[in-house]
Chain A
């Protein structure tokens, strides 16, 4: 495998950096090399936020993502801003709750009701990041589902394991339905 570069983007407070950390954690658990980095504004919530993950079989030097092959966009602003960087043969996953205007692109586009499902099925939009992560991993095969679940459970606050497990299952299912289409 060459380097797989993934960018998770949206606004601050959506848990995208946490999602990036979990994804990198899962890759490390599989014995792969992984680097996770982020950029965010000084505010705790709101503002643009992005997390980047590089997964590779060999050592990773430059730690930033330049041309991701996978872009998750959980806000319209993030979608508009980062789409240009996505590789032509890449995968764009958007949260249809926030991204109403699907941009024109040569990449494969998956428009998924991520936040909507987190709200409807679990009553908590706070786990939209885990739903997104499940769908992203199902669609891209970036890491195994089992290791992702291990990583999620090791990184979420105690007492929220069941909620996050459900969110992850919803994400996997969401991804699978898309792949079956």
Chain B
């Protein structure tokens, strides 16, 4: 078999997430199993120890997020995986990780909510929660795969971004992508780029743990490597200690926000948008239905294209703004009552009419439904 014809293997989105995490060099996982994310914990429980890593099932989601933060401070590449109810519980410590600048990956395989909702059914209702689930202004990176292959590659990317920006990164799957199986070709280790957090070059006695470099990110020492420092969720200065000063907060929270805002490049897939008069904006599994609808629309001579935000946070503002400048109408199908649509409306600034298509009966939106909407707004 030639170099480019490696045998595809069948796996689920959750299994691919496990493969991606291992390729990214995960060495710590703490979690509390919950449908529809359980296969991620199962897979890592089996495989992580063999790769020299640690797997721990904690007493609940709050503790597992805390364990992930602690492990990362000690130098581990740490991840947890959960679904809606568990994602809610993790929010406090996600905020802590954002404030204390602790790199980590949080996988949320979205299921139907609110609360325990429909445990085995798909939804995309956690898009706003991923952005604003924890309190206070804070940066947030969240990636949304639409295929099994992308579950793997975006898990690697999530680790890289967490390490680069010293911040929690959310991998936002939905149940459809997490549980569906398709053939993928896992990359070889030498084909992927791995990013590691910056280490201090200053000696321990001169180390200021929260003094940022021009990219807004401070180098990070491992606990236990001889660098003594203080980590807190309180507003702190460059030494890491709280002084109770509003001016420190003003500097810190702006820096945290800007390190992502100014340096993160939003990720989007554009499909047949060049000459499009109508666009569909969809993410996750719904983007698959949207792609079919776009193809069916094209067969009928409708000039329609697709924009798929891959990084849902930061939202690809410029791509949507540019899109609104050239199409008449934008259709936003999503498995919630309109969350991505709010962002699309904000970015479109009234330059294109935004039509919503929402389904919350625990079924994936079909290509026919999206096509019908395209025809209606044509």
* A interface residues (Cβ-Cβ under 8 A, vs B): 21, 24-25, 28-29, 31, 33-42, 60-64, 66
Contacts and interface: CB of A to CB of B under 8 A. Distances in A.
Contact of A38 (B8, B179, B182, B285): B179
Contact of A24 (B7, B179, B181, B289): B181
CB-based closest 4 A-B pairs:
A28-B183, A36-B181, A61-B292, A37-B180
19 contacts: A29-B7, A31-B8, A34-B10, A34-B182, A36-B180, A36-B181, A36-B182, A37-B179, A39-B120, A40-B120, A61-B292, A61-B367, A62-B289, A62-B364, A62-B366, A62-B367, A63-B180, A63-B288, A63-B364
B10 A63 contact: no
Q: Which of A28, A37, A40, A61 has the most C-beta atoms of chain B within 10 angstroms of its own C-beta? A: A61
A146 B153 CA distance: 32
Contacts of A21: 10, 181
Q: Which of A60, A62, A66 has the most C-beta atoms of chain B within 10 angstroms of its own C-beta? A: A62
Interface in B172-194: 176, 179-183
B43 to A, nearest CB: 15
Given A28-B183, A41-B120, A62-B288, 7 more contacts: A24-B10, A24-B182, A25-B10, A29-B7, A36-B182, A37-B180, A42-B120
A41 B362 CA distance: 12
B291 interface: yes
Nearest to A22: B10
A42 B119 contact: yes
Given A28-B9, A61-B291, A63-B176, A33 B120 contact: no
B225 to A, nearest CB: 43
Contacts of B289: 61-62
Interface in B328-378: 364, 366-367
A63 B120 contact: no
Contact of B182 (A31, A35, A41, A66): A35
B119 A33 contact: no
Interface string B1-14: 00000011110000
B257 interface: no
B35 interface: yes
B366 A66 contact: yes
Contacts of B291: 61
Nearest to A63: B180
A25 B15 CA distance: 14
B180 to A, nearest CB: 4
A41 B119 CA distance: 9
A6 to B, nearest CB: 14
Contacts of A31: 8
Contact of A33 (B121, B183, B285, B295): B183
